A and B are shown apart, each in its own frame.
Chain A
Amino acid sequence: MTTRDQMLASIKANQPAMRPIPAQFTFTSVYPDLTQQFIDILTFVGGAALIVPDFAAIRASLQTQFPNMTSVATTCDELADLADVTMNVSDPHELSGLNLAIIEGPLAVAENAAIWVDERQLPQRVAPMITQYLVIIIRQSTIVPNMHDAYKLLKVDETGFGTFICGPSKTADIEQSLVIGAHGARSLMVYILP
């Protein structure tokens, strides 16, 4: 017998009698204002958010937030003129010098300020981690109350990789002091379109 068959046989012999999957494992969350809840939590985890009317407002804000920044890449056609490099590379290592990545997030969650992105938004999986600074653009209409709602809408294997991003990367491994900017982005700015 192979290890696989041995393991499976021993698991089968040892597992208890069948217990059902519970009928209720999703719950409803009620927030008076989904966008405000999202912003409050994002601020709590060290990110920042701005409600904007259109891409022109985003462009104006980016120009004050990141003046004269180079090595900027975006997947938003509307902001293509701000970019001087591309995330569309065949080797992810080419992104090692990326300073600012501007991407779109198709789904956001109010309860925890998590934003889903997958390979439809990411030309390279490593982009939102390897970049020094990260900007994600979401729409108010795609903010759902909680994670159960998010998974109802998502097909997690639609692409080969997807991730929920909640705030900038961080660590508290040295005496529990919070440091923003561990291995991933040093900041996360979220623009919220109508």
Chain B
Amino acid sequence: MNKQLILDHADAAVEFNKNEAKVDWHDETLWFVRTKRDRAVAQIPEWEQLREAASQIKNHVLSNMHDLLIQFEENAIRNGIKIHWAADGDEHNAIVLDIIKQAGATRMVKSKSMLTEECHLNKYLIDNGIEVIDSDLGERIVQMRNEPPSHIVLPAIHLTKAEVGETFHEHLGTDKGATDPQYLTEAARQHLRETFLTRKVALTGVNFAIAETGGFVVCTNEGNADMGAHLADVHIAAMGFEKIIPRAEHLGVFLRLLARSATGQPITTFSSHFHRPRPGQEMHIVIVDNGRSRQLGRPDFRNSLKCIRCAACLNTCPVYRRSGGFSYHSAVAGPIGSILAPNLDMKKNADLPFASTLCGSCSNVCPVKIDIHDQLYKWRQVLMREGYGPGSKTVAMKAMATVLESPRLYRMAGKVGRGVLRFAPITVENGLNPWYNQREMPEPPAESFHDWYVNHKKA
């Protein structure tokens, strides 16, 4: 009834699964990243206590958001940083464009920021005559291909090295057929060095913003955020307001958790703490809401704002691994994306909370202990109630609800059902029954539990 999507998650997953070898590779590679995470975690005996501490610090942050933001702003301004506030993506984009224009620039280099993906900043800037180059290698690859990132930490995880080789051959003039990652990375390094050295404006994301000191931390392995920011005359840092933490000491908790959860590394190569612009430089922070304060007001879903974007929940998710990032049609894919997206647009993203087996693996690995699978389950209820349930499920669920409400109908349905399964499985195994997709229906029992009970009581 509300199936307005071009391709909802299930249909997009079917597309993705057409290339079975690639799906298997995708699945196994992400699982490998998950096992690296497990090995790193096993080396920290206090891991569970760390998660608990992180979760509680974030609970405090959610409850004290207003004051922490004011404290952060005050200290950042004292540090010589300009603070901007953006209610939504459009306002964020307009602020960034304005800063670029003030700097007299027409080109910008950008490091990874899922927020700018959420706000569709690149498209906006390009439409306004500004050239944007993404400098994270994975992001640069997908940008050349006119694709969004398919994973929040590994943006090009959906591509093979042959595909990257093709893209680089076309855009960077590397040898045709070249697939050696070392060679391809070197080509990108040369290309992006030139970019870093010639851009007057650089935009980075923010991993953590420290209220106590008015500074912020950006984590990368490639060093691209630093190369961009330290060479530019103007540094813009874009952050969702939930990135705030109370004190610098709390970074000890989060930096111990983040990279281990993400890729199994003990910490990222660079964890850069920015507090003041360098002499002659301008530093701006754009603090963005874009639905976050609404999510903060939803008791069942506010915990999603504790996320530190490590992607552990994506890597572990059996559905993400076998459906790919694009099937989520949202800037943030996977389990966390599926609880964030309905807040941004319930109708458009109504399919996402259903893209889960509710196995709970996401909640088990989440370093800030977000109850991800519970929230997925709760979103389903909200969406059904609001009439946004995916079409086929709505019809089936309504029929099921009617049957379950009446004991007589329930017993009759069982009898009919067992008959149907035994004598005419085709009616169950048709395309109208989504449950049958990819599944074998079980052998129906000869008698129901009810019949068995009644017969045995008689005997």
Binding site for B on A (CB under 8 A): 2-4, 6-8, 10-22, 24-27, 41, 44-45, 92-93, 96, 111-114, 118, 124-126, 129-130, 146-148, 150-152, 154, 156-157, 159-177, 179, 181-185
Contacts and interface: CB of A to CB of B under 8 A. Distances in A.
Contact of B271 (A3, A7, A114, A176): A114
Nearest to A47: B269
Contact of B266 (A12, A166, A172): A166
Given A11-B65, A151-B251, A183-B193, A169 B222 contact: yes
Contact of A176 (B29, B46, B196, B267): B29
Interface stretch (B136-144, B318-326, B367-375, B432-440): B136-144
Contacts of A12: 66
A182 B224 contact: yes
Given A24-B49, A160-B277, A165-B269, A179 B181 contact: yes
A93 B250 CA distance: 34
B278 interface: yes
A146 B252 contact: yes
A14 to B, nearest CB: 3
B275 A14 contact: no
Nearest to B265: A45
Contacts of A170: 221-222, 269
B154 interface: yes
B60 interface: yes
Contact of B226 (A14, A16, A129, A173): A129
B184 interface: yes
Contacts of B204: none
- Residue among B52, B63, B222, B253 having the largest count of chain A Cβ atoms under 10 Å: B222
Interface string B239-277: 001000010111111011000000101111111111111
Interface stretch (B155-163, B356-364, B382-390, B410-418): B155-163
B227 A129 contact: yes
B267 A112 contact: yes
Contacts of B32: 176
B122 interface: no
A125 B225 CA distance: 12
25 contacts: A10-B294, A11-B289, A11-B296, A15-B63, A19-B63, A22-B52, A93-B231, A113-B266, A125-B226, A126-B230, A146-B256, A151-B251, A160-B79, A160-B276, A161-B230, A162-B275, A164-B270, A165-B270, A171-B138, A173-B154, A173-B155, A174-B161, A177-B181, A184-B222, A185-B223
B215 interface: yes
* Residue of A8, A13, A45, A92 most packed against chain B (CB within 10 A): A8
Interface string B26-66: 00010011000000000010100110110011011011111
A156 B154 contact: no
A157 B407 CA distance: 68
Contact of B215 (A10, A157, A174): A157
Given A11-B296, A14-B297, 10 more contacts: A11-B69, A16-B62, A114-B267, A156-B273, A157-B276, A161-B278, A165-B269, A166-B271, A175-B164, A182-B223
Nearest to A2: B85
B299 interface: yes
Contact of B53 (A11, A25, A45): A25
Contacts of B376: none
A10 B253 CA distance: 29
Which A-B residue pairs are the 3 nearest by beta carbons? A184-B223, A14-B297, A160-B276
B213 A156 contact: yes
B193 A179 contact: no
Contacts of A156: 210, 213, 215, 248, 251, 273, 275
A188 to B, nearest CB: 9
A124 B164 CA distance: 34
A10 B289 contact: yes
A126 B255 contact: no
B192 interface: yes
Interface residues of B, number: 93
Contacts of A118: 273
A29 B86 CA distance: 41
B60 A21 contact: yes
Contact of A175 (B62, B160, B197, B296): B160
Contacts of B2: none
B273 A163 contact: yes
A182 B221 contact: yes
B302 to A, nearest CB: 7
B222 A183 contact: yes
B135 interface: yes
B222 A171 contact: yes
B126 interface: no
Contacts of A171: 137-138, 185, 221-222
B241 A11 contact: yes
B108 to A, nearest CB: 16
A15 B297 CA distance: 6
Nearest to A44: B266
B221 A177 contact: no
Contacts of A45: 265-266, 269
A186 to B, nearest CB: 9
B146 interface: no
Given A161-B272, A173-B156, A124 B222 contact: no
A30 to B, nearest CB: 9
Interface string B63-106: 11110011000000001000001110001000000000000000
Max chain A Cβ within 10 angstroms of own Cβ: one of B52, B213, B267, B289: B267
B48 to A, nearest CB: 11
B182 interface: yes
Contacts of B221: 169-171, 182
B17 interface: no
